[in-house]
């Protein structure tokens, strides 16, 4: 990425900056769950439904090598309970359940689960690598459990007491919804108790944060996590979660998706009229801007995973491929996610990690912006000549400039024009570590879809 600079800035309280949020930043309490944006890896972008225990361990082994940089959560996405993940419909996919209607790992794909121990051995192995263990579920109760009307563990209820058979996820028909009653709570309590016993640290729940938004099931799952006695990060998916639900999702979860799935493109034409799937990287600028005042310890608006590197052998969307994002676009995505304090969840097949991605995700200076910033926001009032340029600032000491155009752009502006305090400042480029002499303005050349980020010294 081309980034030559003649000047730079900062040292101003966030409340004095143009576009700064009115509320003051607050630090985490001693018992805050997810005090900083969660960082880790999720299997969906590279493996879809098809991940095996061997695949998971191979990727988690690489993740453990990255743990010193903050990459901590190893998450198995959808399909770990499917006997035949290549099946075209619910019957063919062959969901595995225990005698109480709870999802059970496919023994063919997760052999350490034999003997009815579930994913506990794999969670223990993950913890031994110094990592935290996570899984994905779709909200609700499996249809087969309702058909068999199985008893719900620890209660006098059965599956039919808990199931709302009129409620089915519009894009995943494996489950019925869960009623907002004592039986429904008992079902989720039994589920999270089982997962807590396995050693779960993170759960991503799908078809719950938008289309449709399921307020009662969010509350039930959060309550069940509390009842389990184990601290488990709750991630709500997909999006876009509506701003009108901000207080509610912040009360019950630690991260929630603010867009539909983001894949490896700058922008996409929607697959269906009226649908926003898939999203491109560019959509995150407006989404993160809307949610910037809601990021705080324990609550992280989630811009989605980072679809980089090898998206293979069986990505959750499309055919096996190397990410179609250019290096400039990948770098821009990481800078935006970092300064906007989104969770950082890698989607690549880590066993095929390319050198460019490895260097980017081990940049301590960028990760520090994501993990240690107390506040960040977009600058909303820029000079008219800075067309197609976006600017974000964090803590009055970091500034990122983004070129949304496909064409190269030169940014020449005073710090005051960028919404910062006027003056002469020396800065360090956080991408290459180079320092620039003190100056009262900045001139930087950005490639199409490129970005740069500086810290005031």
> Contact, 188 vs 103, CB < 8 A?
no
- In 3D space, the residue among 341, 234, 345, 232 whose CA is nearest the CA of residue 293 turns out to be 341
Residue-wise pLDDT for 321-370, tens only, equals 999 999 999 999 999 999 999 999 999 999 999 999 999 999 999 999 99
Q: Distance between CA 101 and CA 215 in Å, rounded? A: 23
Q: Distance between CA 191 and CA 225 in Å, rounded? A: 9
- Written in H, E and C, the secondary structure of 404-451 is CCCCCEEEEEECCCCCCCCCCEEEEECCCCCEEEEECEEEEEECCCCE
> Given a cut of 50, is residue 207 above it in pLDDT?
yes
Across 47-63, average pLDDT: 98
> Contact, 391 vs 380, CB < 8 A?
no
Return the percentage of the chain with pLDDT > 70, whole number: 94
Q: Distance between CA 324 and CA 303 in Å, rounded? A: 18
Residue-wise pLDDT for 84-124, tens only, equals 999 999 999 999 999 999 999 999 999 999 999 999 999 99
Q: Is 14 helix (H, G, I), strand (E, B) or coil?
A: helix
Q: What is the DSSP string of 340-398?
A: TT--EEE-S-GGG--HHHHHHHT-HHHHHHHHH-S-EEE-----TTSTTEEEEEETTTE
pLDDT at 168: 97
Residue-wise pLDDT for 215-264, tens only, equals 999 999 999 999 999 999 999 999 999 999 999 999 999 999 999 999 99
Angle at 68 between CA 65 and CA 72, to 5 degrees: 80
Average pLDDT, the chain: 93
Q: Distance between CA 440 and CA 426 in Å, rounded? A: 9
**pTM for this model (two decimals):** 0.93
Confidence of residue 177 (pLDDT cuts 50, 70, 90): very high
Q: Distance between CA 282 and CA 286 in Å, rounded? A: 8
Across 174-180, average pLDDT: 98
Residue-wise pLDDT for 393-422, tens only, equals 999 889 999 999 999 999 999 988 887 788
> Contact, 255 vs 343, CB < 8 A?
yes
Q: Distance between CA 457 and CA 445 in Å, rounded? A: 21
Identify the sign of the CA torsion 21, 33, 183, 174: positive
> Given a cut of 60, is residue 8 above it in pLDDT?
no
Buried b or exposed e, range 63-76, using 16+ CB within 10 angstroms: bbebbebbbbbbbb
DSSP label of 280: P
Across 36-60, average pLDDT: 98
Residue-wise pLDDT for 261-294, tens only, equals 999 999 999 878 878 899 999 999 999 999 999 9
> Contact, 319 vs 14, CB < 8 A?
no
State in Å, rounded, how far the first CA of the chain is from the last one: 22
Cis upstream peptide for 155 (omega within 30°): no
Q: Distance between CA 250 and CA 306 in Å, rounded? A: 23
> Given a cut of 50, is residue 169 above it in pLDDT?
yes
pLDDT at 26: 54
Q: Distance between CA 455 and CA 457 in Å, rounded? A: 6
pLDDT at 275: 85
Q: Which domains does the chain have, with CATH numbers?
A: 32-373 (3.20.20.70), 378-456 (2.60.40.1180)
> Given a cut of 50, is residue 24 above it in pLDDT?
no
pLDDT at 27: 63
Neighbours of 402 (CB within 10 A): 25
């Amino acid at each position: 990425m081309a980034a030559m600079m003649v000047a730079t800035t900062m040292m101003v309280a966030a409340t004095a900056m143009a576009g700064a949020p009115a509320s003051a930043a607050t630090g985490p309490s001693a018992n805050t769950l997810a005090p900083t944006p969660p960082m880790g890896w999720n299997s969906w972008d590279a493996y879809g439904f098809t991940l095996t225990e061997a695949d998971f361990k191979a990727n988690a082994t690489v993740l453990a090598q990255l743990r010193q940089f903050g990459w901590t959560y190893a998450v198995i996405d959808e399909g770990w309970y499917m006997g035949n993940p290549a099946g075209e419909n619910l019957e063919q996919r062959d969901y595995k359940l225990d005698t109480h209607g709870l999802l059970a790992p496919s023994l063919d794909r997760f052999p350490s689960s034999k003997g009815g121990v579930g994913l506990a051995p794999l969670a223990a192995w993950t913890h031994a690598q110094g990592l935290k263990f996570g899984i994905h579920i779709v909200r609700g109760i499996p249809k087969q459990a309702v058909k068999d009307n199985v008893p719900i563990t620890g209660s006098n209820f059965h599956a039919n007491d808990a199931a709302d058979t009129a409620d089915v996820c519009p894009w995943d028909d494996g489950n019925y919804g869960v009623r907002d009653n004592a039986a429904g709570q008992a079902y989720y309590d039994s589920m999270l108790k089982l997962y807590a016993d396995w050693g779960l640290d993170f759960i991503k729940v799908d078809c719950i944060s938008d289309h449709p938004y399921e307020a009662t099931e969010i509350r039930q799952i959060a309550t069940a996590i509390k009842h389990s006695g184990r601290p488990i990060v709750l991630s709500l998916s997909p999006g876009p979660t509506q701003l009108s639900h901000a207080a509610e999702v912040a009360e019950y979860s630690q991260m929630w998706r603010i867009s539909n799935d983001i894949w490896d493109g700058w922008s996409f034409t929607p697959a269906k009229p009226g649908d926003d799937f898939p999203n491109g990287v560019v959509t995150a600028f407006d989404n993160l801007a809307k949610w910037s005042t809601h990021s705080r310890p324990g609550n992280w608006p989630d811009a989605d995973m980072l679809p980089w590197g090898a998206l293979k052998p069986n990505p959750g969307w499309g055919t096996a491929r190397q990410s179609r994002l250019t290096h400039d676009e990948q770098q821009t995505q990481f800078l935006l996610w970092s300064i906007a304090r989104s969770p950082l969840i890698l989607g690549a097949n880590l066993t095929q990690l390319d050198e460019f991605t490895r260097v980017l995700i081990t940049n301590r200076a960028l990760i520090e912006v994501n993990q240690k910033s107390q506040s960040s926001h977009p600058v909303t009032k820029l000079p008219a000549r800075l067309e197609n340029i976006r600017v974000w600032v964090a803590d009055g000491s970091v500034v990122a400039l983004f070129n949304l155009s496909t064409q190269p752009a030169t940014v020449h502006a005073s710090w005051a024009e960028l919404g910062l305090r006027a003056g002469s400042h020396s800065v360090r480029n956080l991408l290459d570590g180079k320092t620039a002499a003190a100056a009262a303005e900045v001139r930087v050349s950005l490639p199409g879809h490129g970005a740069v980020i500086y810290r005031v010294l």
